[in-house]
Structure 1
Amino acid sequence: MINRLPNKVPIVLIILLALFTFWVDKSVRQPTTEQDRYPRRNPDYVIENFSAISVNHSSGAHQKLSAKKMVHYVHNETTYLEQPRLITTKAGTPDMRVRADRANLIGNKDIYLNGNVKVLRHDKGKEKMTMVTSFLHIIPDDNIVKTDKPITILQANTIINAVGMELDNDAQIIHLLSEVKFVHDKIH
């Protein structure tokens, strides 16, 4: 029995080494806290009272975005804005000013505005148009604004109420999607 013990020592040491290696690997890989499991859930930056300007020299488009606060999350490329203001100008199209209580930017492509959304569209030499809604989806690269929520459009002595709207600012076309009500007061 004593002669067999030295033959089994290397096997026991190899098994212990394998178990120790497995334990070290598992303890290194497993997060220990909830925050460690999701390290990118915290914002990578927060900016207060900022303004950013974007200029496209080929199309002549200018965009100015400002907000009271901006919080960016790198894990899903989402940016949250408090009290955002967006101004877009482009030669040959009406200037557009947009404001809201909140906004989400997803991947620097689409802007989703929520709460007290107001759009002021001004074409030089024409009447100003104001649009009010609770939600607005802006696609800045295509100069398109749309919503599936109730919207009120005011221009001079005209009031239009509808549910759903799509505005192509380049083509200067507005599509009202449903429940359209139109009131036009004559000027005396």
Structure 2
Amino acid sequence: MQKPGGAHRWRIIFTMLGAVVVALGSFWLLEVMNKNGQDIEASKHLDEPDYFITNFSMVRMDLTGKPSYIVSGTKLTHYPADDSSDIDQPFVRKLTPGMPPLNMNAELAHIDQDNTRLQLHRKVVIDRAASPTAQNLTMKTEALTVFPDEERMETDVPVDILTGASRINGVGMKANNATGVVEVQNALRIVLPPKPRPAAAAQ
């Protein structure tokens, strides 16, 4: 014999269990949403700069403890996601023993790959004074990638090079500051200074 109200009590129990399951499910969903939100927030923060420096100058040393190059600019912005930095109005001076300094100017720069790669953008100008073993050098382009530790640089865009009294134009360039070798890859055009005329023989 079934007691009165038994079915009603079971319905209440099932309703309560259902409410608990829904509550637990809602709590789990809330936790997942909170965790995903935290991950998104963390990722968003990683994409944002964590500090900036204005009117700065820093010196990087070589393995012997001597200055290798100097980097300065009006503003440096650091990004923690990849430990890279953007520089406004950068000035870079590469110091090589036995050679004049190589100066680099641009409107923007990006440093990455553990501070071993420097990318210069917009109105890039490279200058090096003449020395007993090398002519003066002036290079102009709109984009240049520099590897200071390896003393080399390269670009895929048009470049204008003035060395001594000779002018070189082309598209794409690779240069090695240590060896003084410059290779222009495409559309090479060279303008050489006229040869001096031999002195007239005395009558």
* TM-score clears 0.5: yes
Larger Rg: 2
CA shift, 1:95, in A, is: 2.4
How far did residue 172 of structure 1 move? 2.0
Equivalents in 2 of 1:47, 1:187: separation in Å?
51
The 5-angstrom pairing of residues 59-78 of structure 1 reads 60=66, 62-78=68-84
Identical-pair percentage:
21
CA separation of 1:73 and 1:142: change in aligned 2, threshold 3 A: same
Q: Helix, strand or coil: the match of 1:40?
A: helix
Q: 1:2 aligns with which of 2, 5, 10?
A: 5
Q: Which residue does the alignment assign to 2:60?
A: 54
1:52-131 equivalences in 2 (<5 Å) = 52-58=58-64, 60=66, 62-107=68-113, 108-125=115-132, 126-131=134-139
Structure 2 unaligned blocks of 5 or more: 197-203
CA distance in structure 1 between the partners assigned to 2:150 and 2:174 by the alignment:
12
Query: Please, what is the CA RMSD of the aligned residues?
Result: 2.6
Structure 2 counterpart SS, 1:105: strand
Q: Larger strand proportion, structure 1 or 2?
A: 1
Closer/same/farther in 2, CA of residues 91 and 59 from structure 1, 3 Å limit: farther
Residues 9-59 of structure 1, C-alpha deviations (whole Å, 9 max, x = no match):
663354144224224313422429x86762222211111111000111438
Q: Is the 8 A contact 2:112 2:118 kept in 1?
A: yes
Matched-pair contact (CA < 8 Å) for 2:59–2:67: no
List runs of 5+ in structure 1 lacking aligned partners. Answer: none
Q: Structure 1 residue 133 and structure 2 residue 141: aligned?
A: yes
TM-score of the superposed pair, with normalisation by structure 1:
0.85
- TM (normalized to structure 2)? 0.80
Find the aligned partners of 2:129 and 2:153 in 1 and give their Cα distance.
Answer: 15
SS in 2 for 1:31: helix
